[in-house]
């Protein structure tokens, strides 16, 4: 089983991946770690700010890692924001049943009501440099873009609208018995 976690910035993708790692003991691949390894090693001239170009650069690598894990019947959690909206088109039908897709996004109302908490938790799992560009209007626009883009291609979105903790807990025990 591949658990593919994506979504807007500051939605808790890494937190969810860490909780799933702890609960299910699946290996975990952070796309941000791969990105920074490639950037710091000089294997790309891209920078952390080159979001669209990074998606084009990283996705073929991530896609083939996922296919390899599926072919070898290995479990893997893949987490990050560099997932194209039309990601399913890159997998033939034999792979798709082995991929559980989770896209996290926050409603405008949630962002308005919890903005200080969202910013307060931005380094909960990873040590981030403080993002001066992380303003309420930027978060709203990012979440709207993710929601619109993935819904446009028919993907389900896990919308964080009121109770963040309950939303995450539901994702951890989808069938009540821990199975997917």
Over residues 45-98, the pLDDT tens digits come to 999 999 999 999 999 999 999 999 999 999 999 999 999 999 999 999 999 999
Over residues 3-20, the pLDDT tens digits come to 999 999 999 999 999 999
pLDDT (0 to 100) of residue 122 = 64
- Mean of the per-residue pLDDT values of the chain: 91
| Cα dist from 8 to 24, 26, 75, whole Å | 24, 23, 24
CA–CA–CA angle 165, 167, 170 (5° rounding): 105
| Cα dist from 106 to 74, 79, 145, whole Å | 31, 17, 11
Given the structure tokens 């049943």, which residue do they identify?
A: 97
Q: Give the number of other CB atoms < 10 A from CB of residue 53.
A: 14
pTM: 0.89
Q: What gap in Å lies between CA 36 and CA 38, rounded to an integer? A: 5
Contact indicator for 2, 78 with CB cutoff of 8 Å: yes
Over residues 109-139, the pLDDT tens digits come to 999 999 999 988 765 544 444 455 678 999 9
Q: What gap in Å lies between CA 56 and CA 2, rounded to an integer? A: 21
pLDDT (0 to 100) of residue 128 = 44
């Amino acid at each position: 089983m591949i658990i593919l976690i994506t979504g807007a910035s500051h939605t808790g993708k890494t937190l969810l991946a860490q909780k799933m790692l702890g609960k299910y003991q699946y290996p975990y691949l952070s796309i941000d770690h791969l990105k920074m390894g490639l950037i710091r090693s000089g294997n790309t001239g891209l920078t952390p700010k080159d979001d669209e170009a990074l998606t084009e650069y990283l996705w073929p690598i991530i896609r083939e890692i996922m296919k390899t894990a599926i072919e070898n019947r290995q479990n893997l959690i893949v987490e990050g924001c560099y997932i194209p909206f039309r990601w399913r088109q890159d997998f033939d039908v034999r792979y798709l049943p082995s991929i559980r897709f989770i896209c996290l996004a926050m409603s405008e109302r949630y962002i308005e009501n919890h903005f200080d908490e969202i910013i307060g938790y931005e380094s909960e799992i990873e040590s981030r440099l403080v993002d001066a560009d992380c303003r309420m209007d930027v978060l709203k626009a990012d979440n709207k873009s993710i929601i619109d883009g993935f819904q446009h291609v028919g993907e389900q979105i896990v919308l964080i609208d009121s109770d963040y903790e309950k939303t995450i807990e539901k994702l951890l025990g989808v069938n009540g018995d821990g199975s997917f």
